[in-house]
């Protein structure tokens, strides 16, 4: 928390929401592609963050620290490290000296010390030390299982378990159906989903949905929409321009998957969406749309475009267990839901923070509420949402904050 406070000041003193890092360009006749005249907003929604992270050595360290603080239930410091990491991901130059990060927002003294250590030593002993802590190592293993979050990890840790082997050996331990599947398909699920697998999944779902509802809009979203070549799951969002026609899509699709023998696990969450409800103040809140968390038995021999793929090196086996999230939205909310499900998570956090603090509006996956005019603002695409917010449009691949 102190880290946040520390970093917040210089930003707000200079400009309400845009900090300009001006370094001396005039003295340099042939400026390198580096820190000269870089504009860095404190909000990820005002930065273009592509997948080209030239500072991975630093952002990896910060992401690990964010995870470390998540595991130790220190939300303030988790968010502080995620913000700092996200900010560095947007820099168009590799950091080579401390003076280049001196005036960047969100970087507190502890963070700068880590950057300095990495610049000098090529690694951070502080980060390595925290990573070797027992709690971090155990939580890292536990949370890698589908269906195991912080709560279960904490419970298992308190019970004295330290490794996944410990859990597997304890036959008395009660596991949810989701967690049982998590262990059963552990290798497949923890090996990342490739672009080709995401595409196969997308085409499979489209072919099923379009049989029932030919004008349904089916969009591959999440990290793959942002251009990632790998992901931990496939996220697909579905709607239909004809009001109400989206309602049966989820159950029908899941029935077909089941009948085709392509479904290994499903957890269906029914919609709790109410049109008049104000956007949630809780930034990380899940939305109220109907959705399903699935594990597919994805055929891996041949993709629809004809490439032979062998994702997990599992020759002889003709399928791979792949995690799929399906989200169904009414047409009116689709643009907001798409914006939300495209992510990244940090981009979404900052977009909502920006909306609240700079626009006095409220944003979530269902809509945008203008508090002064007391109205919900309609949007038929993502561009219109950026327009409502007075933001330059960012393409999905520029939202990798």
- Give the binding site for ligand DCT (CB under 6 A): 222-223, 228, 231-233, 235, 284, 286, 340-341, 343-345, 348
User: What DSSP state is assigned to residue 279?
Assistant: P
Taking the C-alpha atoms of residue 382 and residue 324, their distance in angstroms, rounded to an integer, is 23
Catalytic, out of 202, 233, 287, 364: 233
**Residue 350 contact, options Mg ion, ligand DCT, none, Cβ 5-8 Å cut-off depending on partner type:** none
As measured in angstroms, the least distance from the Cβ of 4 to Mg ion is 27
Give 182 or 231: the residue with its C-beta nearer to ligand DCT.
Answer: 231
The three-point CA angle 234-239-243 to 5° equals 165
Verify whether residue 235 is a known catalytic residue: yes
- φ/ψ region of 213 (left if φ > 0, alpha if ψ in -120 to 50, else beta) reads beta
The verdict on whether 154 is a catalytic residue reads: no
Under rule CB under 5 A, residue 197 binds Mg ion: no
Residue 50 has a CB neighbour count (10 Å cut-off) of 15
Least distance in angstroms from the C-beta of 234 to ligand DCT: 8
Is residue 364 near Mg ion by the rule CB under 5 A? Answer: no
Least distance CB 265 / ligand DCT (angstroms): 16
**Any catalytic annotation for residue 307?**
no
Q: How far is CA 224 from CA 54, 227, 240, 306, in A?
A: 20, 5, 22, 20
Q: Which of residues 232-271 bind Mg ion (CB under 5 A)?
A: 233, 235
Q: Which of 188, 235, 287, 350 is catalytic?
A: 235
Question: In 3D, which of 273, 258, 247, 251 has the Cα closest to residue 364?
Answer: 273
The interface partner of residue 343, options being ligand DCT, Mg ion, none and the CB cut-off 5 to 8 Å by kind, is ligand DCT
Partner interacting with residue 100 (select from Mg ion, ligand DCT, none; CB below 5-8 Å by kind): none
Interface with Mg ion, residue 222, by CB under 5 A: yes
202 lies in the site for Mg ion, by CB under 5 A: no
Q: SS3 string of 198-254?
A: HHHHHHHHHHHHHHHCCCCEEEEEHHHHCCCCEECCEEEEEECCCCCCCCCHHHHHH
C-alpha–C-alpha distance, residues 44 and 46, integer Å: 5
Catalytically annotated residues = 233, 235, 325
Binding site for Mg ion (CB under 5 A): 222-223, 231, 233, 235
């Amino acid at each position: 928390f102190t880290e946040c406070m520390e970093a917040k000041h210089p930003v707000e003193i200079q400009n309400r929401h845009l900090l300009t890092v001006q370094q001396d360009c005039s003295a340099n006749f042939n400026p390198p592609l580096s820190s000269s005249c870089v504009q860095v907003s404190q909000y990820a929604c005002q930065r273009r963050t592509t997948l080209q992270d030239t500072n991975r050595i630093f952002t990896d360290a910060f992401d690990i620290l964010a995870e470390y603080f998540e595991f130790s239930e220190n939300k303030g410091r988790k968010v502080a490290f995620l913000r700092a990491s996200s900010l560095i991901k947007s820099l168009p130059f590799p950091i080579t000296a401390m003076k280049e990060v001196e005036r960047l927002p969100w970087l507190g003294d502890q963070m700068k010390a880590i950057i300095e250590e990495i610049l000098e030593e090529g690694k951070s002993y502080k980060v390595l030390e925290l990573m070797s802590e027992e709690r971090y190592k155990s939580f890292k293993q536990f949370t890698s299982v589908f269906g195991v979050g912080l709560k279960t990890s904490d419970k298992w840790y308190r019970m004295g378990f330290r490794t996944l082997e410990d859990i597997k050996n304890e036959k008395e331990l009660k596991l949810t159906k989701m967690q049982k599947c998590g262990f059963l398909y552990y290798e497949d699920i923890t090996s990342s989903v490739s672009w080709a697998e995401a595409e196969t999944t997308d085409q499979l779902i489209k072919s099923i949905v379009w049989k029932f509802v030919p004008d349904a809009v089916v969009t591959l979203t999440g990290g793959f929409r942002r251009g990632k070549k790998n992901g931990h799951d496939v996220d697909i969002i579905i709607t239909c321009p004809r009001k109400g026609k989206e309602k049966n899509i989820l159950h029908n699709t899941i029935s077909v998957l089941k009948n085709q023998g392509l479904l290994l696990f499903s957890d269906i969450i029914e919609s709790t969406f109410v049109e008049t409800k104000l956007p949630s103040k809780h930034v990380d809140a899940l939305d109220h749309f109907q959705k399903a968390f699935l594990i597919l038995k994805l055929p891996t021999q041949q993709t629809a475009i004809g490439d032979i793929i062998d994702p997990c090196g599992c020759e002889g086996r003709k399928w791979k267990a792949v995690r799929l999230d399906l989200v169904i939205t009414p047409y009116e909310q689709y643009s907001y839901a798409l914006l939300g499900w495209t992510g990244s998570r940090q981009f979404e956090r900052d977009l909502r923070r920006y909306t609240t603090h700079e626009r006095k509006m409220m944003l979530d996956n269902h809509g945008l509420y203008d508090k002064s005019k007391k109205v919900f603002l309609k949007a038929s695409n993502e561009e219109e949402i950026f327009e409502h917010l007075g933001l330059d449009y960012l393409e999905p691949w520029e939202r990798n904050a």
